[in-house]
Structure 1
Amino acid sequence: MTTSVVNVVATKSDLAAITPYGERVPVDGKKMNVVVSGSGEETIVLLPGLGTSAPALDFQPLIRQLDDTHRVIAVEPFGTGLSDQADTPRTAENIAREVHAALQQLGVDRYVLMGHSIAGIYALQYSALYADELIAFVGIDSSVPDQPGWNEPVPTDGLVALRDLGILRVMAAVSGDPYAGMPYDEHTKEQMRLLTTRNSTEPTLLDEMNRSADNFASVRGMTFPSSLPVLLFVVQDNQDVSGWLALHEQQAASVERGRVIALEGEHYLHHTRAAELGTDTNAFLKSLPVR
């Protein structure tokens, strides 16, 4: 039996094994999945980085650190998690408007926006559109305008062919557990694997990857509103992007209340430094004037 035939059979089995979680809210005639945890007076909205196929599950370690003190809403933008695929182009503005529409469906109109990686770019568009709703922005090794390499395309050529041939499945099987030693139970890790298989080469996520450079270009020179408090968690020793820490220090300096916290670790700081992210986010928000 060829790998492509095995892949078709295994894909059907994978789809049947996905366990529903969260709630799906209507947005533009489709359904967007969100997971709401905690019941604090203040709301924190979590947005994922590019290519995170199951955001609400991926954020679990961080959610556990925040939902004792806040209501936490993990949004799964179209094409990720259990959300529908999208018909609209994956521009930063469209993504921001769709996330906002989902929050409106939940009756949420005042909140902290907390985002990983490219969510820092989407948050700039978001703050230009909905500044009055935002309490603060918290970045998790978030992307910044004009960072070195911003205009380099994300390589997607051939991914669909590799998927259909079953090569991606073989590669995943031999590459080991990417979440080994991290605070996820086996069921959650399996669900993330299944959703990565389902979502990573679907049209919505591929379109978002292909528009990455355009989305960076759309915020060139843009800053957050000066009155918006900004807290940025940054990988201390990023060997891939020159001047990574300094770029975030510049962004924090562009607002009246900005702070950078450098941490040792990898790009997905919420996997391994969730406790520090939770403690320092709570402290930063408590330090702000009554809002």
Structure 2
Amino acid sequence: MAQTEEKKTGNGTKCKKVRSILLKIIAAIVIVIVLFLGIVYIMNVISTNSEKKQIEPYGQHVSVDGKNMNVLIQGKGEETIVLLPGFGTATPALDFKLLIDELSPFYKVVTVEPFGYGLSDETEKERTTENIVGEVHEALQQLNINRYMLMGHSIAGIYGIDYVNKYPNEVTAFVGIDSSVPTQPGMDVEFPLKRLEFLKKSGLLRFALKFSADPYKGLAFDEKTVEQMNLITKQVMNNDTILNEMDHISSNFKGAHDLTFPKDLPLLLFVQASDQGVAGWVPLHEGQIKDSMHGKVVLMEGSHYLHHTKFKEIAENVRTFMKEAK
């Protein structure tokens, strides 16, 4: 009996020691994590304030709803092209630069940076299609731009189809750059907004970017432009305005579901030829032009950001198409 009790006591002591060691290890891990998060947060605050001073202004500010919307105008052609970015394109005017440089010798090119993007202010207004379209239109009105071709990338296909139906007397044509289609599948997804907000505000998103691949590697952008795009991206990525827009993606697609482009509106769609992410990507776009009096789908090999690599071909096709449309 005595030996049994001694064994029990010994085992109990060992268990206590093991438990104590485990608790110390867990406590040490927690402390390391807390310290790591604290350092990441502080570095994020310092870097954000420091990098903000390195950003070089471009374009001009237009007052919309009492806030500043940034707009870049390049070229002095008789016809005007208004460029709208895809969702999450942090620096629209710089992201479109290669295409703008190809178009501006022939057109007046107006690149609008919606609220939350580029050098535009953020806004607390809900990022519904109605509000986004209304704000872009108001900016153009402030600039006395009343007749133009609308050209948009990605989700601008959703905003654009609403826009051309609201302002048919202003828009002379719509050009989509791998633009979204209201009926494409998979847009009823719910995004982890709280998680994305935490990544932004904690500084973990900035930390992760240090180890991510350079999205501009091998492209024709000059070093200065890439530097500025990276600086601005770190400022605006996952800001409250963009996250609010993300939260409205599903409802904005639903709202556009039954919309079609006007039959008499020239419609030119540049489409990624081998998109594996969306089922029936090419047929979806072909369906958009089937009733158009002057519609065309141009298939291109490349990434979703066709304007990063096919900017010359896009510009040439736009000029040819618009001459034919007349």
Q: TM-score range by the shorter chain?
A: over 0.9
For the residue of structure 2 that corresponds to 1:153, the secondary structure is: coil
The counterpart of 2:268, out of the listed 222, 228, 231, is 231
The counterpart of 1:276, out of the listed 297, 308, 313, is 313
The counterpart of 2:241, out of the listed 177, 190, 204, is 204
For the residue of structure 2 that corresponds to 1:79, the secondary structure is: coil
Q: Which residue identity lines up with residue 257 of structure 1 in the other structure? A: H
The alpha-carbon deviation at position 24 of structure 1 amounts to: 0.4
The alpha-carbon deviation at position 181 of structure 1 amounts to: 1.1
The counterpart of 1:115, out of the listed 146, 152, 166, is 152
The alpha-carbon deviation at position 155 of structure 1 amounts to: 3.9
What residue number does 1:94 align with? Answer: 131
For the residue of structure 2 that corresponds to 1:157, the secondary structure is: helix
What residue number does 1:285 align with? Answer: 322
The alpha-carbon deviation at position 37 of structure 1 amounts to: 0.4
What residue number does 2:35 align with? Answer: none
The alpha-carbon deviation at position 87 of structure 1 amounts to: 2.2
Q: Which residue identity lines up with residue 112 of structure 1 in the other structure? A: M
For the residue of structure 1 that corresponds to 2:194, the secondary structure is: coil
What residue number does 2:62 align with? Answer: 25
The alpha-carbon deviation at position 164 of structure 1 amounts to: 2.7
TM-score, L = length of structure 2:
0.87
Bigger proportion of residues as helix: 2
Q: Residue 200 of structure 2 contacts residue 239 of structure 2 at CA under 8 Å; is this kept in 1?
A: no
Greater relative contact order (Cα < 8 A, sep 6+): 1
The alpha-carbon deviation at position 254 of structure 1 amounts to: 2.6
Q: Aligned partners of 1:126, 1:140: CA distance in 2, in Å?
A: 16
Q: Aligned partners of 2:81, 2:297: CA distance in 1, in Å?
A: 19
**Considering only aligned residues, what root-mean-square deviation do their CA atoms show, in Å?**
1.1
Q: Aligned partners of 1:110, 1:5: CA distance in 2, in Å?
A: 48
Gaps of 5+ in 1: none
Gaps of 5+ in 2: 1-37
Q: Residue 153 of structure 1 contacts residue 212 of structure 1 at CA under 8 Å; is this kept in 2?
A: no
Is the radius of gyration larger for structure 1 or structure 2? 2
Q: Residue 173 of structure 2 contacts residue 267 of structure 2 at CA under 8 Å; is this kept in 1?
A: yes
Q: Residue 223 of structure 1 contacts residue 254 of structure 1 at CA under 8 Å; is this kept in 2?
A: no
Q: Aligned partners of 1:50, 1:153: CA distance in 2, in Å?
A: 16
The alpha-carbon deviation at position 4 of structure 1 amounts to: 1.1
Q: Residue 49 of structure 1 contacts residue 119 of structure 1 at CA under 8 Å; is this kept in 2?
A: yes
TM-score, L = length of structure 1:
0.97
Q: Deviations over 1:213-250 (max 9, x none)?
A: 01000111210111111000000011010100000001
The count of aligned residue pairs is 289
The alpha-carbon deviation at position 52 of structure 1 amounts to: 0.6
1:48 partnered with 2:103 = no
